[in-house]
């Protein structure tokens, strides 16, 4: 194994927010700074995940758009995980089910104004999208203009975290032009509001972006971005090392030592790598066998060996980047006694190779389960070729790297999405009435501290089901060329480049 020494987080990688405490735009002043406006200061960026849905803002591709500085929502996440201003400069609650958002003066990238009618229409398009964005799972939402600069957003049931929910990358606000194509699709090319305007998409290979000079947050210092989608982590690291790239996201831990110390930065994230067991069919429908499998997995080896020190041992669904979680965590509730593996069943364990550490983690899991008496077949594919089968419950077990605060920033939302009977991302296929009740109780709470307490009580129920075994809380390594400044190391993984990112 490589050295476990972890490089310190270098000063050039410090987060520099544009609006107090907010990661939305990455900071920098509104002047030209080092940018000259020519092709020479375009940023060359490699992202780890190719578009799976033609850069639709409603699914997994939404984060690609936000990381490249293309899209924005009404709100953003601040450093503490709270809602912060973005296209909405302020908001207030009007009764139990309605919130009013006051818009800032902003312009869409096609030249039209960001108006209450345009925002209401954009949110309505997201509500009608099929499938619905994860941030809207179980939420009945409608929006209408409420005045010259006001949008009124109403939910079918009281939603105490609506401003946080609207920070989701999948609820980005686009102009009317984005929806001219029929079929419920949205086109983000030249229709968003961020500091960089998407101009061309070359399938799942690359995309071109130009600076949007009329961005409300100030003119970006880079003149544009040439983005490449490179699933091979070694290829991303090599391209950075040879000077072909300025920024390479998600550098594999095995490649970190090959980069100069000054060109790599790591940060704790809200991403947890977990082992999920299919709780509704196959071998692991038996809670006793889930308990036996959980007991067979030694989670201490993943942070130390597989992630070579760029991670923290799995403690729960929420990791150390969710700073309030550790002090509120309690022991799992309702665990079954361990059963005994036997019979001729073969466990189909799956993972994906977009994050290079996952196949190695899955291989370790395979070895540990086999040592306990299970027979395991390992399937590894690119993520876009696995997701549908995983959501359909076609695997017995799945190793998944999941950002617990990505979709909404609300700690309860990921529990509802991933571990309840009606959850839209329930790869574990868990359907447990006690879990559903605990999550439903948490969803009703508006007070932040009490909502966190309820989320941790629900986590204890979920861990007690043994449908999920947290393996490691990841630190993400970002490769950045010596000549580049202002890259955003966002623990929520929603942003990467902003107005202050330049070379």
Q: Rounded CA gap, 451 and 448, in Å?
A: 5
217/238 Cα distance (integer angstroms): 34
Asked if residue 281 and residue 243 are part of one domain, the reply reads no
Decide if 65 is inside a domain: yes
6 belongs to a structural domain: no
Other beta carbons within 10 angstroms of residue 103's beta carbon come to 22
Domain presence at residue 359: yes
Same domain, 324 and 428: yes
pLDDT at 19: 27
Tokens 């994230």 appear where?
Answer: 269
Does residue 275 share a domain with residue 254? no
**Could you list the residue range(s) of the whole structural domain that residue 103 is in?**
11-260
Same domain as 465, residue 327: yes
Q: Verify that 255 and 330 share a domain, yes or no.
A: no
Number of domains in the chain: 2
Query: Does residue 496 form part of some domain?
Result: no
Lookup: tokens for 234: 């070694």
CA distance 414 to 410: 7
In a domain, 156, yes or no: yes
d(CA 168, CA 127): 13
106: CATH: 3.40.190.10
Angle between helix 357-371 and 287-296 (nearest 10) = 110
Distance CA 304, CA 299 (A): 10
Whether 201 and 326 share a structural domain: no
Domain identity same for 299 and 152: no
The alpha carbon of 117 is separated from its chain's Cα centroid by a whole number of angstroms, namely: 29
Q: Out of 220, 235, 260, pick the residue that ends a domain.
A: 260
**Contacts for 33 with CB less than 8 Å, ≥ 6 apart:** 221, 500, 502
The C-alpha atoms of residue 389 and residue 208 are separated, in whole angstroms, by 32
Q: 220 with 102, same domain?
A: yes
Do 240 and 338 belong together in one domain?
Answer: no
SS3 of 161, please?
A: coil
User: Whose CA is closest to 490, among 27, 4, 7, 5?
Assistant: 27
Among 204, 237, 260, the domain-final residue is 260
pTM for the structure as a whole: 0.76
Of 227, 260, 293, which one is at a domain's C-terminal end?
A: 260
Per-residue pLDDT at 476: 86
Residues 293 and 241 in one domain: no
Quick one: 69 and 143 in the same domain? yes
Instruction: Assess whether 166 and 93 both reside in one domain.
Output: yes
Could you tell me where the beta strands, DSSP code E, fall in 97-171?
A: 98-103, 141-145, 150-155
Which of 173, 195, 174, 163 has its CA nearest to residue 77? 163
In this prediction, residue 183 carries a pLDDT of 66
Burial class (CB in 10 A: 0-12, 13-18, 19+), 475: buried
CB 17 within 8 Å of CB 79: yes
Q: For residue 284, is it within any domain? A: yes
Q: Give the list of residues 6+ apart from residue 52 with CB closer than 8 angstroms, or none.
A: 59, 60, 61, 204, 383, 384, 387
pLDDT, tens digit only, all 503 positions of the chain = 333 333 323 333 333 332 223 333 333 333 333 334 344 499 999 999 899 888 889 888 999 999 999 999 999 988 778 899 999 999 999 999 999 999 999 999 999 999 999 999 999 999 998 878 888 877 899 999 998 999 999 999 999 889 999 999 999 999 999 999 766 689 999 999 999 999 999 999 999 999 999 999 999 999 999 999 998 989 999 999 999 999 999 898 888 888 888 898 888 888 899 999 999 999 999 999 999 999 999 999 999 999 988 899 999 999 888 888 888 999 999 999 999 887 677 999 999 998 888 999 999 999 999 999 999 999 999 998 999 999 999 999 999 999 888 778 888 989 999 999 999 899 999 999 999 999 999 998 988 889 999 999 999 999 999 999 999 998 889 999 999 999 999 888 899 999 999 98
Tokens 């971005």 identify what position? 225
Structural domain contains residue 483: no
CATH of the domain at 431: 3.10.105.10
CB distance 458 to 415 below 8 Å: yes
Judged by DSSP in three states, 255 sits in helix
Output helix, strand, coil percentages for the chain, rounded to the nearest 5.
25, 20, 50
Q: Classify residue 501: in a domain, yes or no.
A: no
Q: Are strands 196-202 and 206-211 parallel, antiparallel or unpaired?
A: antiparallel
Q: Could you say which DSSP state residue 113 is in?
A: B
Q: Which of 213, 295, 248 is nearest to 469 (CA)?
A: 295
Give the pLDDT confidence score for residue 2 in this predicted structure: 31
């Amino acid at each position: 194994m490589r050295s476990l020494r972890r490089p310190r987080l270098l000063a050039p990688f410090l987060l520099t927010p544009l609006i107090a405490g907010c990661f939305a735009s990455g900071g920098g002043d509104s002047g030209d700074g080092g940018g000259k406006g020519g092709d020479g200061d375009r940023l060359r960026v490699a992202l780890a995940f190719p578009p799976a849905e033609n850069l639709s803002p409603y699914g997994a591709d939404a984060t690609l758009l936000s990381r490249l500085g293309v899209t924005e929502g009404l709100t953003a996440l601040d450093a503490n995980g709270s809602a912060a201003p973005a296209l909405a400069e302020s908001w207030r609650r009007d009764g139990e089910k309605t919130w009013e958002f006051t818009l800032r003066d902003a312009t869409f990238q096609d030249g039209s104004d960001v108006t209450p009618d345009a925002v209401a229409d954009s949110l309505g398009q997201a509500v009608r999208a099929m499938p619905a964005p994860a941030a809207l799972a179980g939420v009945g939402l409608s929006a209408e203009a409420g005045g010259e600069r006001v949008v009124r957003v109403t939910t079918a049931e009281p939603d105490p975290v609506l401003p946080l929910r609207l920070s989701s990358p999948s609820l980005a606000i686009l102009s009317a032009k984005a929806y001219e194509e029929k079929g419920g699709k949205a086109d983000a090319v030249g229709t968003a509001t961020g500091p960089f305007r998407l101009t061309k998409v070359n399938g799942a290979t690359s995309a071109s972006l130009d600076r949007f000079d009329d961005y409300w947050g100030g003119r970006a210092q880079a003149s544009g971005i040439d983005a490449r989608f490179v699933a091979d982590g070694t290829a991303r690291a090599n391209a950075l090392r040879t000077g072909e790239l300025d920024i390479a996201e998600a550098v594999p831990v095995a490649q970190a030592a090959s980069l100069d110390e000054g060109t790599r930065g790591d940060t704790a994230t809200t991403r947890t790598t977990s082992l999920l067991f299919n709780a509704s069919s196959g071998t692991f429908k038996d809670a006793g066998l889930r308990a036996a499998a959980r007991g067979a997995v030694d989670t201490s080896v993943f942070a130390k060996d597989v992630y070579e020190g760029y991670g923290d041992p799995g403690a729960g669904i929420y990791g150390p980047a969710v700073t309030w979680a550790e002090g509120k965590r309690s022991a799992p509730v309702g665990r079954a006694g361990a059963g005994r593996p036997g019979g001729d069943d073969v466990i189909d364990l799956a993972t994906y190779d977009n994050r290079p550490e996952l196949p190695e983690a899955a291989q370790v899991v395979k070895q540990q389960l086999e040592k306990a008496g299970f027979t395991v077949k390992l399937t590894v594919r690119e993520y876009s070729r696995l997701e549908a089968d995983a959501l359909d419950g076609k695997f017995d077990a799945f190793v998944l790297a999941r950002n617990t605060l990505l979709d909404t920033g609300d700690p309860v939302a990921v529990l509802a999405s991933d571990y309840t009977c009606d959850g839209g991302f329930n790869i574990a296929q868990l359907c447990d009435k006690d879990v559903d009740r605990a999550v439903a109780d948490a969803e009703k709470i508006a007070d932040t501290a009490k909502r966190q307490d309820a989320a941790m009580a629900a986590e204890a129920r979920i861990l007690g089901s043994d449908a999920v075994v947290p393996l490691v809380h990841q630190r993400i390594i970002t490769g950045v060329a010596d000549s580049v400044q202002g890259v955003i190391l966002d623990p929520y993984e929603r942003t990467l480049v902003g107005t202050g990112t330049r070379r």
